[in-house]
């Protein structure tokens, strides 16, 4: 029996039905909210494991809902947005959303995103307590400032190391370019995005077996980057 509880916030009936039908096939428990205020109240009373949140709601906008919920909870929030709401999507991620789905999305895409979010929940507490981060072959010893790949120490520049730590401490979450620039360099200039890309490329060369097909750090074109938690199946096959 799947005990995962999901709060579905969507005012569009057709999309809501697609989501809830998909959740039913996996035996997820779910509740529905059609408005932002209901969503906030239900998030508090239900304490869901994940929230799937439409950005365009009739009363509050989705970003406001995220900010309210983030003031007391770190529960994963997956945003659902139309293509026309691209800037809202980035704003939603900066407000603390984990991930986003662009309409129209497939059932498989939705399920894959749910698995990523659940994996983040599973490791969350552990990552906070541990000074050592392990993900597949990658190991970071935060206290010693060392990084290992398959047991061998690798040497990173200070910026590459900061970048890797930021991504690993937020594993499972999509981090926007602006967020990363602010955290690493302390200021945000859109002109810095290309240099971020360069640092990411050199970091990937050091940690990815095949930098053209990265398994640790995902690129979200026009949005940002995310470190993926490798699943047990992946870890076994490596
Ligand atoms: Ca809507």
Q: How far is the CA of 55 from the centre of ligand 1 (A)?
A: 6
Ligand 1 centroid from CA 11, angstroms: 5
Query: Is the same domain home to 220 and 182?
Result: yes
Which of 86, 115, 144 is the last residue in one of the domains?
115
Is the residue at 124 inside a domain?
no
Same domain, 93 and 183: no
- Residue 15 alpha carbon to ligand 1 centre in Å: 9
Measure 104 CA to ligand 1 centroid, in angstroms. 12
Rounded Cα distance between 61 and 18, Å, is 22
The verdict on residue 70 lying in a domain is yes
In a domain, 122, yes or no: no
Q: How far is the CA of 113 from the centre of ligand 1 (A)?
A: 20
**Sheet of strand 77-81: strand arrangement:** 29-33, 5-9, 50-54, 77-81, 99-102
Query: Which of 89, 115, 141 is at the close of a domain?
Result: 115
Only one residue has tokens 């945000």, namely 188
Same domain, 111 and 168: no
Residue 237 has pLDDT above 80, yes or no: no
For residues 140 and 107, membership in a common domain is answered with no
pLDDT at 127: 63
Q: How far is the CA of 89 from the centre of ligand 1 (A)?
A: 13
If 0-12 CB within 10 Å is exposed, 13-18 middle and 19+ buried, where does residue 216 land? buried
CA–centroid distance, residue 131 to ligand 1 (Å): 41
Report how far residue 144's alpha carbon sits from residue 81's, in angstroms, rounded to the nearest whole number: 41
Tell me the C-alpha distance between 228 and 217, whole Å.
6
Note whether 102 and 14 are same-domain residues.
yes
Q: Report yes or no on 121 lying in a domain.
A: no
**Distance between Cα 105 and ligand 1 center (Å):** 14
Distance 72 CA to ligand 1 centre (A): 24
Residues 96 and 160 in one domain: no
Q: Say if residue 138 is in the same domain as residue 226.
A: yes
Q: Containing H/E element for 52?
A: strand 50-54
The count of domains in the chain is 2
What domain range includes position 188? Answer: 131-237
pLDDT, tens digit, 9 for 90 and up, residues 8-55:
999 999 999 999 999 999 999 999 999 999 999 999 999 999 999 999
In this prediction, residue 238 carries a pLDDT of 37
- 184 lies in some domain: yes
């Amino acid at each position: 029996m799947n005990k995962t509880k999901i709060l579905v916030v969507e005012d569009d009936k057709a999309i809501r039905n697609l989501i809830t039908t998909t959740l039913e096939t996996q035996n997820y428990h779910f509740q529905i909210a059609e408005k932002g205020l209901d969503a906030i109240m239900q998030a508090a009373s239900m304490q869901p494991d994940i929230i799937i949140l439409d950005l365009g709601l009739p009363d509050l906008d989705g970003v406001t809902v995220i900010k309210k919920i983030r003031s007391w909870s770190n529960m994963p929030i997956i945003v659902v947005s139309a293509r026309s709401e691209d800037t809202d999507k980035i704003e939603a991620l900066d407000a603390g959303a984990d991930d986003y789905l662009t309409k129209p999305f497939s059932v498989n895409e939705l399920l894959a995103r749910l698995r990523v979010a659940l994996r983040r929940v599973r490791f969350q507490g552990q990552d906070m307590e541990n000074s050592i981060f392990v993900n597949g072959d990658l190991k970071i010893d935060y206290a010693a400032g060392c990084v290992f790949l398959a047991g061998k120490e690798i040497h990173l520049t200070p910026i590459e190391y900061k970048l890797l730590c930021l991504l690993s401490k937020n594993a499972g979450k999509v981090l926007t370019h602006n967020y990363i620039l602010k955290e690493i360099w302390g200021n945000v200039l859109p002109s810095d995005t290309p240099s971020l890309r360069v640092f990411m490329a050199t970091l990937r060369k050091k940690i990815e077996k095949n930098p053209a097909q990265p398994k640790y750090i995902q690129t979200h074109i026009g949005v940002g980057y995310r470190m993926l938690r490798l699943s047990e199946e992946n870890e076994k096959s490596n």
